[in-house]
Amino acid sequence: MSADDSVILETRELTKAFGGLVAVNTVSVTVRKGEPHAIIGPNGAGKSTFVNLLTGHLPPSSGRVLFRGRDITGLPTHRISRLGIGRSYQKTNIFPTFSVFENCRLAAQSRLSTSMRFFRPAVTLAEVNRQAEQAMEQAGLAARRDRTAGTMSYGEQRQLEIAMVLATRPELLVLDEPLAGMGKEESERMVALLKGLAAQYSLVLVEHDMDAVFSLAATLTVMVNGTLLESGPVEQIRASQAVQDAYLGDGAEAY
């Protein structure tokens, strides 16, 4: 157990091997409450695999994950979601034939335990609807409530993904490349949305867009080849020679 209340998430020597490939190699990271934390690194560095280990989408080969001081290593995704970690995916993951509201309602429902669904159907339905409405509002999609999700612009579909995460009532948001594939205007809208959320939730963000990273994050973790190169306050990482050489220096624009 971590005695430090300011820590919301901690990994200890977290490792994931796919056969001979060690995608995440003894990575120890500390995420503090209310301190937006970005994970950066070149393609194939292990960022998404790391996220999948945090959220139970993959079991680690070794190492631990602690959420609010509690060991959650190896718990299934739905248990981790119910404990308060909400995550979005690098590739859009919505139900395209359902309305925006229905997508949010399904997400809100997924947070309920089966016993709650069984015992208090009327109360929980009202609560689920309220959570779905609130999530749409927070993600700037209230005016799109009844739109079929798949007919919206790509940027709005990505906003919907964020709304679906919010509908699960998370304490910590884990977002894997929320700006992926977006144009300039869509990116700006998403960054503004994420800034607002970073004031209300703890945030772990995987992102290649360095302008967005520097405007959103307080802390950066740099991964290269599955290993943690450096982790610390943004200014420390910006000034780091090792990071410059490996990632932020010449050619960083390519990421």
- Quickly count: other Cβ atoms within 10 Å of residue 64's Cβ: 15
Residue 29 class from Cβ within 10 Å (0-12 exposed, 13-18 middle, 19+ buried)?
buried
Helical residues (DSSP H) of the chain, grouped into ranges: 47-54, 77-83, 100-110, 114-119, 121-138, 154-166, 184-198, 210-216, 234-239, 241-243
Minimum CB–partner distance for residue 174 and Mg ion (Å) = 12
Minimum CB–partner distance for residue 142 and Mg ion (Å) = 31
Asked if 18 is part of the footprint of ligand ATP (rule: CB under 6 A), the reply reads yes
Give the contacts of 142 (CB within 8 A, at least 6 positions apart): 133, 136
Residues 48-67 that bind ligand ATP (CB under 6 A): 48-49
Which residues lie across from 14 on neighbouring strands? 27
Residue 136 or 190 with smaller CB distance to ligand ATP:
190
Measured from each CB, the residue nearest to Mg ion is: 48
End-to-end Cα distance, the chain: 37
How far apart CA 9 and CA 69 sit, in angstroms, is: 7
Over the window 75 to 94, marking each residue x when it contacts Mg ion by CB under 5 A and - when it does not, the resulting string is ---------------x----
Q: Quick one: which of 46, 56, 60, 63 contacts ligand ATP (CB under 6 A)?
A: 46
Choose among ligand ATP, Mg ion, none what residue 60 binds, the Cβ cut-off being 5 to 8 Å by kind: none
Q: Quick one: which of 11, 25, 30, 48 contacts Mg ion (CB under 5 A)?
A: 48
Residue 23 or 85 with smaller CB distance to ligand ATP:
23
How far apart CA 68 and CA 30 sit, in angstroms, is: 11
C-alpha 245: how far from chain center? 27
- Stretch of residues binding ligand ATP (CB under 6 A), selected from 38-46, 65-73, 91-99, 163-171: 38-46
Asked if 198 is part of the footprint of ligand ATP (rule: CB under 6 A), the reply reads no
Q: Quick one: which of 33, 44, 218, 244 contacts ligand ATP (CB under 6 A)?
A: 44
- Stretch of residues binding Mg ion (CB under 5 A), selected from 29-37, 40-48, 149-157, 180-188: 40-48
Residue 47 or 111 with smaller CB distance to ligand ATP:
47
Asked if 86 is part of the footprint of ligand ATP (rule: CB under 6 A), the reply reads no
Choose among ligand ATP, Mg ion, none what residue 23 binds, the Cβ cut-off being 5 to 8 Å by kind: ligand ATP
Rounded alpha-carbon distances, angstroms, from residue 88 to 112, 204, 214, 235: 18, 11, 20, 27
How far apart CA 41 and CA 69 sit, in angstroms, is: 27
- Stretch of residues binding ligand ATP (CB under 6 A), selected from 40-48, 100-108, 122-130, 212-220: 40-48
How far apart CA 166 and CA 162 sit, in angstroms, is: 6
Q: For binding to Mg ion (CB under 5 A), which residues are involved?
A: 47-48, 90
Catalog residues that contact ligand ATP under the rule CB under 6 A: 18, 21, 23, 41, 43-49, 90
